[in-house]
Structure formats: C-alpha cells, structure tokens
Chains A and B, each alone.
Chain A
Amino acid sequence: MVLGRVFEDMCAQMYYRGKMFGFVHLYNGQEAVSTGFIKLLEARDSVVSTYCDHVHAVSKGVPPRAVMAELFGKATGCCRGQGGSMHMFSAQHNLLGGFTFIGEGIPVATGAAFSSKYCHEVLKESTPNRLDVTVAFFGDGTCNNGQFFECLNMAQLELWKLPIVFVVENNLWAIGMPHLRATSDPEIWKKGPAFGMPGVHVDGMDVLKVREVAIEAIARARRGEGPTLVECETYRFRGHSLADPDELRKPDEKASYAARDPITALRKYILDKELASAAELKIIEKKVDAVIEDTVEFADSSPLPPWSQLLENIFADPKGFGIGPDGKYRCEDPKFIEGTSLSLESCLPANHLHRCLIPSESSIRPNSIKVRHG
C-alpha cells in the first residue's frame, strides 16, 4: 500500500514537472482495495482494471520501473510506451489492462474467466477446484453501465458460473457526478443477488476487512461456485485525474475520509498489536522511497521508443497464417496457395497469454517475431 501511495504521489510530481503527459488518474486513498484483493492472488490469476491502473499493476507484480517508464512513454515500459497510463498490459503478470471506457474491462475479465472454465472443462487442462480466478476492478459509475449488468448476468448463467470476482471501488464520485445523484438505488452490493450471486459490502478503507471478504470471494471462484460482487466503500484523495480541479467535493467529506486513510489505519493496527515496531515501519517506508527514486531515475534515463516502433505490433501476423517451421512467413511459400496441409500449432505465433497451451509451445517467446508491420 505504501508503495502504491508513494508511487502515485511521485506520478503527480512528475506530471507537474512535465515528464508525464496525457491523462493520469491516481489511486491515492484506495490502496486497501487493491492490496486486499491482489495480494491474495496467485501469479496465474488475472486482474483487469480501468484507466486507474498503476497501483493494480504494481500490486500484481509488474516492476514499478516498468510502470513508471510506461508512464514516461519510454521504450522500457511494460508496453514499450505504446499503452501509457491507461493501458497497462503485462502478459507475464496476467494483467489484462488498462481499459478507458468504463465497463469495457468487465466483459474482457468475464472472458478471461470463461477461458479458465473452458480450459478446465473442455480442454481438461487444469485441476478441479483450482480454477484460475479473474478479478475485475471498476468504479461506482460503471455500475450504471449496460455492460456491467450484461456480465453479471452471463457470469452467473446456469452453464457458466465463471471464476470471477467483480470488485466495485465505490469512491462515491464519477469525475464530478456523485454516486447518489446518478444512481436510483445506490446500494451496489444489492445488484449481485438480483442476478443470483452473493453481493457483499465492505469498508474499503480497511485493508484487513477487505482481505477477509476477498479470501472468501476468491476461494468461491476457485472452487467453481461462481462470481461474487463485492462493493468496497472507499474514497480517492485526489481529483479524478491530474487535470481535475476537484471543486465539487466538500472539504469536510474529504477530511472525514482522510481521517480513515488506509495506510494510517494499518500502521496504527500494527503498532497497537505490536506486530512490528515503529522503527521497522520506518525502514519499510525508507525502502519504498528508495525504490521509487530508483524507478524515476530508470524511467528518466530510458530511451524513447525508436521510430520504427510506430508501425509494429498492429497485427500478431500481418500476412496471415503465421510463421512456418522454417521461420518464414507461411504465405510467402509459393506452394501455400495450393492448399497444402497446415499444421495448426505452427500457425500460432504465441504472443498471447499462456493458460491453455502445452508447456513446449509456451516457451516460444514473441521476440522471435518481433518486427511486424501492419
């Protein structure tokens, strides 16, 4: 959580210094939700986020250096500078983005959960009671969006019962639109039972309470019992984005939530229960500061992407039919159009997430087919 907070504060500093640009949305105040859920996940579980995804990325294990470099738009970023603040993807860490349209990530998360179920049931490739779980994070504004309801419905379908947890980070504001003005029934957790799944409300400013709920929701999903809707009541200390003057929120509301800062609360808890001393916590904070300093230095000194990167990666395979065993584009083989038989496995350049592939294929790294012009 501290890493997330310091990271975001540094982002703000860098933005105001002009190193970061475009849209940047900070997560200050909501760290309990991200940490509470993501730290319980395994490496093979997936996380789908919104444009407010820096801390989700860092929690999931994406190196802070890669995230910061991505924000600076450098070639060493997790997406080589192509995605930016709002589109963090990491195949290695099963971080599936980074979606800007609210509600857009929810069907993609549902699809990832679907693939987990499919691999288990159709391809018989995972162990029972050990489905890979997907956690989808989104906000209160999204809960009025059609795609949210469509996915709550489909995840819970008789035949489907997908291993997904829908986590609502209800910070009461969608830019300048308060949740209470925008929603006819503001209690979001109630929308779960309307679709036949459990709906839980939890105090999103308390990481331990979030963790308790998360343990159960993730275990449910992993066992194959289906989705859960968790509403975390939380608050963002900064504006919607760094360009938001944040004039509509009242100071006393902000103050009351600032008093419930999750990091302060956890620190107090740790000191009260004597799980660690104040000095040890100070060491952790210093370490985090050092990590972030290093991160900024790394990002600063990283090169910008080469111009040739502009046209790369539009397609996994611009010419169609993949790469043959001889390493050449298959369609350039003059015999190809005669309809000679194709081996399907070699048709697949394996730059997608490896859940359903046999181990030998998953060792093919995309770098072997790096330069692709669309």
Chain B
Amino acid sequence: MIHQNILLLLLPSHHIAFGAQAKVSPFSPCQANHRLVAFFPHRLRSSLSRPIALASFDSEILQEGLNRVLPAGSVLPKKYSTSAKEITVREALNSALDEEMSADPKVFLMGEEVGEYQGAYKISKGLLEKYGPERVLDTPITEAGFAGIGVGAAYYGLRPIVEFMTFNFSMQAIDHIINSAAKSNYMSAGQISVPIVFRGPNGAAAGVGAQHSQCFGAWYAHVPGLKVLTPYSSEDARGLLKAAIRDPDPVVFLENELLYGESFPVSAEALDSSFCLPIGKAKIEREGKDVTITAFSKMVGYALQAADVLSTEGISAEVINLRSIRPLDRATINASVRKTNRLITVEEGFPQHGVGAEICMSVVEESFEYLDAPVERIAGADVPMPYAANLERMAVPQVDDIVRAAKRACYRAVPLAAAA
C-alpha cells in the first residue's frame, strides 16, 4: 500500500491508471491525474499509515480531494467503474471521425484549422496525416462560403462534415444551414437531399465573453429539415456523430467545449466501429420516481449531480439525457412525466423560446392531467454572457438551481428530515 503511494508520486502523471483496464490516451489532458499527483504530497504523511484502495474511488480521502480540487460543477461522474474502459469526449469524436472517414471515401472534413493545426480543439487530431489534404480541408475564414460549398458537395452525394470553430460563427453561415441545407429536400420535392453534418462546440465555455458563449440549440431546433443532436458523454459523442455522418439529412451536431476533456466509461460495444445511436431517442441516465429532469449536453452532468443531492434529501429524480433536440423524444419525456408527475427542464441557453419551452408545451399537450406541479424551466440568464467569472457563474444554471427547482416542484421548499 505504502509503496503504491510512492510509486504514484514517482510516475509521470499521465501514466496513472484508474483501475486495471482504464486507458489513458495521449489525447486526454489528464486533468484529474495531474490534480491527484498534486494532491498526494499534502496527504502523504497521514496516508502512509492508511492503506488506500486505488482500484475504486470509494476511498474517502481521494473523494474528498477530488471534491476540493475540481471546479464547481464538474461533470465527472462520482463513481468510476473499474472494468469499463474510459475515453474522453475528444477521443470519442476523433475516433468516430476517423472510423467514418475510413469506411466511406465520400466523407470529408472541412473547416478552419482542422488540418495542420490538428483541430482548434484537437478533435481532428491526426486526420490530416491519415487522409491527406484532399479529405481534411483547411478553409479560409469564410463560414458562409465553405458552409455553402459543403451543401453543394452534398447535393452530389458527398458527405461533408463542416466544422465551425464554435457555433457562434455559424451565424455567418446560417443562411446555408437553413436555406440551402435544411430546405433543399423539401423545395426540390425529394430530388436532392443534403447528407451534411455541421458540427462544433456550442454554448458557454469559461470566460469567453458574450459573442462566444451562446447556445444555438433552440435556434436550429426550430427549423424543419434539420436534425439537431446534443451529445453528453463519450458514448453519446461517438454514437451520435457516427449516426449523423451516415444520416442522409442535414444534421447540426452541438458539442460542448468543456466536455471535450471529460472522461466517461464506454462499453466494448460502443467502441465497435459499427456502433451508432439512433437519432431522436433520449436516454434515461438515472431512473427515479419523484421528478423528471430533462437536460442536454453539459447540463446532463449538472442534472446528475443535482439528482445525487436530491436523493440525500429523499427526492428521487429521473434524469433524461435528451441526446437529440430535433427530433425531440417526446415519447420518453412524456412517459417519464406520467410516471413522476413533475418536470424540470434544464438548458444552458436563453430562456425565451428555448428548448425547455418546447418540452413544457409537449408535456402540456400530451400529459396535462398527469402533472401535479407547474413545469419548472431552468435556463441561462436572459442576458448576453458577461465576462467576470462570478457573473458568468450566475448567468449559467448551477446544480443548486436545479436542486431548488426540484424541491419547488415537489412542494418541498424546506428539506424533510426523513423521507415520508
């Protein structure tokens, strides 16, 4: 036990393995690993006398350390499974792109810095070397131009993946996403379909200011003719990106910058090259019976944390990871609400005309009699994103907000001493 600790201190941080089969790849920034190494010296003296089980993080000391060191609202799940492999969302996306490009020569990637820079967020790392400059195209800074070029190429059956450095820049190309990609199949009465994927990070990052922080889920989900996907975990990222690339319709694939470095356990099936997730199906991340919380992208992590907090207070929350906001999986949401009778919708974007508004209306239309409380909508603040860190924290939903909303929905503004 003691020698294990010393061994850990001596190893370079990125070689620390969590569990026997966990793979740590060169792609992941290994944030958690760095912090553990930093943490160890402080506790080494006391830990020398205590065996620390590194195989699972039921260990109190490590858990405490993680809670202190990680930023509020980290999306790392609390329990690591020892047998599952873990990959980051970045690796998941990279492997999905790699596999689809190798399976189908008509797939190509286009965007700013996707080639020689290895991707602005390193999502397309290694692809230029593997597929060459004819399939991994660095474009000039001309979103409208290259989005339209992607659409024209898709008209002829090629499968472009157009990367926007962030979806904020997609506003320069939104004419093509909506008017030429989304509407072409309809306008041509089915003669010309557009098998294109528009992908990139969406939503708030950390301290990037008003013009780089908007969530475009509601904007794109508004348009008939688009499919809009919002992955959360690595499995989601892999499965949904592969599905999006294979899909013959235009897909808007909204990733999240803060999730790129997060690791999630993935099953062997998810790592198979033919793995795909269906578009339009939500996933119930956590089953519960008292209140339904719907969320997408980064907010799923927050919702899961809120569910943990709520469970200590006797409220069992069901967390739905929407995965796809157009088409919205109304069946799953309604079935869940009919079970729990209460609904909280969580999203990062602006509240007015947002995704939560649509979910609320869907539930009112289909499951009104089952609702025992008004639907609660948690969204970002109705302001352009401020820069100051404390204001930014207030402008984005936090775990506390979700917890409070759930309690309001359960008519329990004050926590009960014991569950009824």
Binding site for B on A (CB under 8 A): 48, 79-83, 87, 89-92, 96-101, 104, 106-116, 118-119, 121-123, 146-147, 150-151, 153-154, 157, 159, 309, 312-322, 331, 336-342, 344, 347-357, 366, 370, 372, 374
Residues of B within 8 A of A157 (CB): 140
Distance of A146 Cα from B156 Cα, bound (Å): 24
Residue ID in chain A nearest B181 by CB atoms: A108
Distance (whole angstroms) from the CB of A299 to the closest CB of chain B? 16
B367 within 8 A of A: no
Q: Is the CB of A99 within 8 A of B179?
A: yes
Point out the residue from B106, B135, B145, B278 that lies within 8 Å of A110, measured CB to CB: B145
Q: Is the CB of A150 within 8 A of B144?
A: yes
Known: A123-B106, A331-B278, A339-B272. A321 touches B247 (CB 8 A): yes
Give the nearest-CB partner of A80 in chain B: B189
Query: Shortest beta-carbon distance, B212 to chain A, in Å?
Result: 21
| A-contact bits for B176-194, CB 8 A (1 contact / 0 none) | 1001100011111111111
Flag B131-146 by CB within 8 Å of A: 1 or 0 each. 0011101011010111
Instruction: Give Cα A353 to B153, complex, Å.
Output: 10
Residues of B within 8 A of A147 (CB): 144-145, 148
30 A/B residue pairs, CB under 8 Å, sorted by A: A48-B152, A79-B189, A80-B189, A90-B191, A96-B155, A107-B147, A108-B152, A108-B155, A109-B152, A110-B149, A111-B152, A112-B152, A115-B153, A115-B156, A153-B140, A153-B145, A154-B146, A159-B137, A316-B193, A321-B247, A341-B274, A342-B246, A342-B276, A347-B246, A349-B193, A351-B191, A352-B156, A352-B192, A354-B157, A374-B225
When distances are taken between beta carbons in the complex, the residues of chain B under 8 Å from A340 are: 274
Which B residue's beta carbon lies closest to that of A348?
B248
**Looking across the interface, which residue of chain B has its beta carbon closest to that of A342?**
B274
**A319 CA to B153 CA, complexed, in Å:** 23
**Measured between alpha carbons, how far is A87 from B184 in the docked complex, in Å?**
9
The minimal Cβ–Cβ distance linking B282 to chain A, given in whole angstroms, is 13
Question: In the complex, A110 Cα to B151 Cα: how many Å?
Answer: 9
Contact residues in B for A344 (Cβ distance below 8 Å): 103-104, 246
Q: How far is the CA of A221 from the CA of B344 in the complex (A)?
A: 58
B243–A320 CB distance below 8 A: yes
Shortest distance between the CB of B171 and any CB in chain A (Å): 13
**B186 cross-chain contacts in A, Cβ below 8 A:** 82, 313-314
**Besides A147-B148, A317-B193, A321-B279, 8 other A-B contacts (C-beta < 8 A):** A110-B148, A111-B153, A114-B152, A147-B145, A315-B248, A320-B280, A352-B193, A357-B157
Determine if B148 and A111 form an interchain contact, defined as CB atoms under 8 angstroms apart: yes
Beta-carbon nearest neighbor of A164 in chain B: B152
Q: Is the CB of B156 within 8 A of A356?
A: yes
Partner of A352, one of B144, B149, B154, B274: B154
Residues of chain B with a CB closer than 8 A to A113's CB: 152
A315 smallest CB distance to B (angstroms): 5
- Whether B153 pairs with A322 at a CB distance below 8 angstroms is no
Interchain CB contact under 8 A, B149 and A353: no
By a CB distance below 8 angstroms, the chain A residues around B269 are 338-339
**Interface of B: prevailing SS:** loop
- Does B150 contact A89, Cβ atoms closer than 8 Å? no
Contact with A along B238-256 (1 / 0, CB 8 A): 0000010011110000000
Is B280's CB under 8 angstroms from A107's CB? no
Known: A107-B148, A111-B148, A115-B158. A370 touches B274 (CB 8 A): no
Which B-chain residue is minimally distant from A121 (CB atoms)?
B134
Is B220 positioned at the interface, with any CB of A under 8 Å from its CB? no
In the complex, what residues of B have CB within 8 A of residue A107's CB?
Answer: 144-149, 151-152, 176
- Docked pose: A218 CA to B190 CA in angstroms: 30
- Residue B275, interface by CB 8 Å: yes
For B366, the chain A residues whose CB sits under 8 A away are none
A123:B249 contact, CB within 8 angstroms: no
B195 within 8 A of A: yes
Residue on B with the closest CB to A315? Answer: B249
Task: Please determine whether A339 and B248 come into contact, CB atoms closer than 8 angstroms.
Answer: no
CA distance A108 to B181 in the complex (A): 10
A261, B396: Cα distance in complex, Å: 64
CB contact list, B178-221 vs A, under 8 A: 179-180, 184-195
Q: How far is the CB of A22 from chain B (nearest CB, A)?
A: 13
Q: Is B264 an interface residue (CB 8 A)?
A: no
Check B164 for interface membership: any CB of A closer than 8 A. Answer: no
Q: Tell me whether B227 is interfacial, beta carbon within 8 Å.
A: yes
Residue numbers in A under 8 Å from B225 (CB-CB)? 314-315, 374
Across the interface, which residues of A come within 8 angstroms of B278, CB to CB? Answer: 320-321, 331, 336-337
- Shortest distance between the CB of B54 and any CB in chain A (Å): 32
With A96-B192, A320-B243 already in contact, the answer to whether A352 and B148 are too (CB < 8 A) is no
Closest Cβ neighbor of A370 among chain B residues:
B190
Judging by beta carbons under 8 Å apart, are A321 and B153 in contact? no
CB distance from B179 to the nearest CB of A (A): 6
Closest 4 CB pairs of A and B: A111-B152, A107-B148, A150-B145, A89-B188
